[in-house]
Structure 1
Amino acid sequence: MPSKKRTLMPMTWTPILDILADLGAATVSSLWLPALVWTIFAMPVYVGLQRCQFNVHLQYRVRQGLFFALPIGLLLGIAGPRVLDLDLFAPAVRPPPNLPVPDPPLSSSPETISSHQAFSWAWLHAFGLLTVAACAIGAYRLSRFLADILALVRFRNRGDLCKSPSVQHLTNRLADKLTVHRPVRTWVTSGDIVPQTVGAFRPTIVVPKTLTDDQEALRMTLTHELVHVRRYDCLAQWVERLVASLFAIHPGVGILCRSITHFREQSCDATVLDTEACARSQYAALLYRFSASLNSRNSVALRIGDLHPSLHDRIRAMHEYPSSASRWSPLPRFAIGLLMFGLVVGIAACSDVGDKPTAPSTESITQAEKHAEVLLSGQVVDSQTGEAIPRVNIVRMYEAEEQSSHVGFGEGVATTNEDGEFAADELRPGSHKLMVSCVGYEDKTREIDVTAESPQTMTIELRRETKSLPEIEVSASDTE
């Protein structure tokens, strides 16, 4: 049988590049720029905390404030413009009904038509790929977080959990002493587990049955877990895990989240030693006891035990940190609150979500030409389909005498809007050489002469550039 040849059609990458560019343009100023600002300000503070031995309560709260500044700032950047648009803080100034509303002025410069034109298209592609990677990693980490929550639900429904009236009575007494205003349940299990607190809204303390034989150890353990309940640490840890999953691509977020977990336990240890007035060696022995049987790695449950490297730091902190259990004065609290507020406002100010300019219509361009002296205007279209091409950059190339005093090969004079229209209002009279470029299209160069007496209007056609792979021939032959 004669062989059959099949020719695979060439693959075009232009739609994929357009999608990545649009995705990068949508996230560069709304996500990555605020994340960069957060990194610049938060990481030096984190390094300073690592090098200085401050109060453990101060260390814990500052780290927590730095961590939550990023999502709160991003949320304010998203919701802020929408709240202001609702006129909740000031009445809108509207013209009288008999007066015509003036058309918005046309601004065709790259800085005003599109806020992301400051970034080159290659950078937009990179930010688009980074956004795709962030979504993929965040989805994976979020699935692990949900799996931990489901495992925690199954743990609470275990059949070997039972109530102990004496342990519950001791829990109620300690809760009253620590001013815990929420009801806390205590369960005893025969399994070899580490004492832990589960449930963000209905806290439940689970202790092993072997712990009930040692009343002093049971008292220190319950005090430790009740401190977590009083401070809503379980809820805070859930939110921290959620934020860390969404920003998993940022290594600083993960580092700070693990540091918060570490200092949360140190802060709780300091409170227990101050409340119970127990010996440090006795409390340290209790921590070592449960670190040996640490078999639960669920990260959404609060445990008194810890892994050995972190446990050594907790024991050392009991002796090295100054006045760990003492309360810190209101002045540091005010300073920290002011610092966190400034960081949140800075992050929100860097985000321009919701403040994207709208493309002016054809009537707006006509009205703007009457009020402003535009020497060159027109539209850029596809040479094959005749459709308008948005986001086309029009650059005036420097003359030979200008090369020595400028960086680059030219200056941007206009960018097309969503209708493919442009108005080069910054172009001066004279002879100019313009380069018209857009992603997915071949660059085009035109020489024009513009005068103040006779403004020009032109239509520029661009030819689509197709990047294709070489054809692949697949041969197949029938064999008997």
Structure 2
Amino acid sequence: MDALIDTVLSRLAYASLQAVLLGALVGVACRFIPSLSAAARSALWWLLGAQLLIGLLAPSPVTLPLLPPAVTTTVVVTAPVIVTAASDASDVATSTFSWAAILLAAWAAAVLAQWIVAARRGYRLVGIVKRALPHDDVRVETLCARRARELGLRRSPRLKVSDEVDSPQVAGLWRPTILLPLDDRLNDDELDMALMHELAHVRRGDLLLGWAPVLARSLFFFHPIVHLAMREYALCREAACDALVVARGRQAPQTYGRLLLRLGVAPHPHHALPGASPTFRTLKRRLDMLGNATDAPHRALTVAIFAVLTVVGVTPWRVVAAEQGTKRTGVFASPSPASAPSPAAPVAPAAPAPPPDVSSAPPAPAAPLAARPPAPPPAPPAPPAPPMISSFFTGDSNGHGNQAFAFFSDDIQVMEGSNADVRRAAAQKKGSGDFAWYQDGKQAWIVRDPAYVKRIHDVYARSSKAADVTAASAEKQASIAQRQAMLNEQMAKLAERQAELAVKQSDPNGPHDPSAYAAGHAAIGKEQAEIGRQLAELDSQNAAEGKVMADRNRRQAEESRKAAQEVSAIMAQAIRDHAAEPAR
């Protein structure tokens, strides 16, 4: 369930962000390209509604690996585990899930409420169409059929009259019906233009295509760009029909403008397209656009803009990090004794990418319980793996994925690159000789010259000394953690003894010696106080050691960076001095 919630919320967020980009592009195109016709503008604003629906319903977005590859580093935590961390993480996860679930439920409730209101209005419109009377004027029927043929419609819409509409309008998805007011006071020319306007809606498919913006606005009701885009789409849609009437009709634009003024302002019913404007501002803008009405736009420019915005703005995409090859880390061969746990080494030096800061928080000592036995103390942490020191080399500090490096010696092995790169480097090994292998793009070099190999070996050996010092600090922290675990176990046993003593004291059949019980409680309390003091000292030591560890990690990171720069310079010099031979 939480996966579904995360998916829906993330898609809503990504689609909303992409809508801002697409809305800005469409706004710029409409403002700075005045030659765009009203039909082209309405199509561009319609794209935003389609983009929102696709972004929410598409099974998977298109990934664009434009970001640098992510640098991943494995960190082995040597600090002891704190028991309360699991419950805290669970509480955080539950809280996050609760807020996400509440947010999604509120969104779904708002969408459902809008759909219920829209369904009621649609049902009311269906009732208006059913109650409307057939138009009995054969002359108007003939005029409507002739205009429909001129516009390329295969079938003329039905004509009906109703006393529940104030202006001519068209309704119906599969069987369009033009509704005329019962008290129609339009003359023949005005009626001709009004019919042409409604037939233009049918020809353009506005009744069907208009559902995409309506549905997008209901799903993204919280997005201000969506409401702006839908208003612009509705305005340009009406202006496109106005332009079609002026271009195909026999009347001048001024005559059609007077018709718009006469129809005036009337609220738009849902799921129907009336000829009247919903607001005075819309009416004014329609009249302004009527002066530039044209049905012959620059089609090449319109198609190019539409195609570019479809690819850039409508296609759901995500910018992600570029993939990189699987890293294989070389190990300094150093056998660890089986009797004592070996501390985990800190983060391996990575070159040339800056290593992450590693910080460890000291564990809090468990509070002693006075009257009841506590839960069993956690087991000491398992011994970590032997110290691992890995070094990376890239010729570019940005970490391009077409570079790889490997260094092989008896005690040091350093590798970076994909599995295929590592196999190619290992294939160059001949006997027990040390060598360095470097690849940049399709070109690869091998350095076997003893002088250069020794310089590279010395650099990595010097860098490993910082890791040894850090490993000693990690070993000290592990020792502190073991002592803390032992003291916690002793504290638990004292709590059990204290509980047993309290049970004996409350037993009516047992011996009643208040002084003996008091002495027993006092002795246990004294031992608990001493253990608590030792735990506090260990906690202070662990905190101080943590600071030292963090400082040493920073120094090791600096040593790693210097080593990377030195190895880069050595390899570059070997290539310049022809000490590096091309690899086969």
TM-score (norm 1): 0.58
Deviations 1:328-363 (A, max 9, x none): 323431331232133333x15579xxxxxxxxxxxx
SS at structure 2 position matched to 1:201: coil
Q: Distance in 2 between matches of 1:304 and 1:249?
A: 29
User: Shift of the alpha carbon at 1:277?
Assistant: 3.7
Residue 279 of structure 1 aligns with an amino acid whose one-letter code is: A
1:218 has 2:198 as partner: no
User: Shift of the alpha carbon at 1:447?
Assistant: 6.5
Unpaired runs of 5+ residues, structure 2, are 64-71, 76-88, 321-330, 332-343, 348-353, 365-377, 389-584
Equivalent residue for 2:309?
339
Equivalent residue for 1:469?
none
Equivalent residue for 1:297?
268
Match of 2:51 among 57, 69, 82: 69
Equivalent residue for 1:174?
147
Equivalent residue for 2:245?
272
Equivalent residue for 1:419?
none
Q: Distance in 1 between matches of 2:139 and 2:294?
A: 32
Report if the CA contact (8 A) 1:60-1:263 is conserved.
yes
Q: Distance in 2 between matches of 1:434 and 1:34?
A: 43
Match of 1:133 among 89, 96, 106: 106
SS at structure 1 position matched to 2:297: coil
User: Shift of the alpha carbon at 1:259?
Assistant: 1.4
Report if the CA contact (8 A) 2:172-2:207 is conserved.
yes
C-alpha distance 257-213 of structure 1, shift in aligned 2 (>3 A): closer
Amino-acid identity (%): 23
Q: How many residues were matched structurally?
A: 322
Report if the CA contact (8 A) 2:134-2:159 is conserved.
no
User: Shift of the alpha carbon at 1:231?
Assistant: 0.9
User: Shift of the alpha carbon at 1:51?
Assistant: 3.3
Residue 296 of structure 2 aligns with an amino acid whose one-letter code is: S
C-alpha distance 129-220 of structure 1, shift in aligned 2 (>3 A): same
Deviations 1:251-286 (A, max 9, x none): 222221121111100111111111114122221111
Higher helix share: 2
Report if the CA contact (8 A) 1:141-1:248 is conserved.
no
1:328 has 2:298 as partner: yes
C-alpha distance 450-284 of structure 1, shift in aligned 2 (>3 A): same
Equivalent residue for 1:37?
18
User: Shift of the alpha carbon at 1:69?
Assistant: 1.7
User: Shift of the alpha carbon at 1:153?
Assistant: 0.5
Report if the CA contact (8 A) 1:217-1:286 is conserved.
yes
C-alpha distance 213-254 of structure 1, shift in aligned 2 (>3 A): closer
C-alpha distance 213-64 of structure 1, shift in aligned 2 (>3 A): closer
Equivalent residue for 1:240?
213
C-alpha distance 253-130 of structure 1, shift in aligned 2 (>3 A): farther
Residue 252 of structure 1 aligns with an amino acid whose one-letter code is: I
User: Shift of the alpha carbon at 1:67?
Assistant: 2.1
C-alpha distance 252-123 of structure 1, shift in aligned 2 (>3 A): farther
User: Shift of the alpha carbon at 1:73?
Assistant: 3.6
Report if the CA contact (8 A) 2:268-2:274 is conserved.
no
C-alpha distance 22-157 of structure 1, shift in aligned 2 (>3 A): same
Residue 19 of structure 2 aligns with an amino acid whose one-letter code is: W
Deviates more, 1:45-54 or 1:133-142: 45-54
C-alpha distance 166-408 of structure 1, shift in aligned 2 (>3 A): farther
Equivalent residue for 1:154?
127
C-alpha distance 350-124 of structure 1, shift in aligned 2 (>3 A): farther
Residue 297 of structure 1 aligns with an amino acid whose one-letter code is: H
Report if the CA contact (8 A) 1:162-1:189 is conserved.
no
Q: Distance in 2 between matches of 1:159 and 1:66?
A: 35
Trace 1:191-206 onto structure 2 (pairs within 5 A).
Answer: 193-206=166-179
SS at structure 2 position matched to 1:324: coil
Residue 452 of structure 1 aligns with an amino acid whose one-letter code is: P
Q: Distance in 1 between matches of 2:13 and 2:180?
A: 44
SS at structure 1 position matched to 2:159: strand
Q: Distance in 1 between matches of 2:56 and 2:269?
A: 29
Report if the CA contact (8 A) 2:144-2:156 is conserved.
no
Residue 272 of structure 2 aligns with an amino acid whose one-letter code is: A
Report if the CA contact (8 A) 1:142-1:242 is conserved.
no
Unpaired runs of 5+ residues, structure 1, are 1-18, 82-106, 111-116, 352-372, 374-395, 400-404, 412-431, 436-443, 455-480
Q: Distance in 1 between matches of 2:121 and 2:73?
A: 52
C-alpha distance 30-445 of structure 1, shift in aligned 2 (>3 A): farther
Trace 1:36-115 onto structure 2 (pairs within 5 A).
Answer: 36-39=17-20, 41-49=21-29, 51-52=31-32, 53=34, 54-78=36-60
Q: Distance in 1 between matches of 2:189 and 2:305?
A: 39
SS at structure 2 position matched to 1:200: coil
Q: Distance in 1 between matches of 2:125 and 2:164?
A: 15
Report if the CA contact (8 A) 1:24-1:125 is conserved.
no
Residue 32 of structure 1 aligns with an amino acid whose one-letter code is: A
Larger Rg: 2
Match of 2:284 among 300, 307, 312: 312
C-alpha distance 215-410 of structure 1, shift in aligned 2 (>3 A): farther
Equivalent residue for 1:13?
none
User: Shift of the alpha carbon at 1:223?
Assistant: 0.5
C-alpha distance 32-123 of structure 1, shift in aligned 2 (>3 A): farther
Report if the CA contact (8 A) 1:434-1:447 is conserved.
no
Kindly indicate whether structure 1 or structure 2 has the higher relative contact order, using CA contacts under 8 Å at least 6 residues apart. 1
C-alpha distance 123-259 of structure 1, shift in aligned 2 (>3 A): farther
SS at structure 2 position matched to 1:77: coil
| Aligned-residue RMSD, C-alpha | 4.1
Deviates more, 1:244-253 or 1:308-317: 244-253
User: Shift of the alpha carbon at 1:162?
Assistant: 3.9
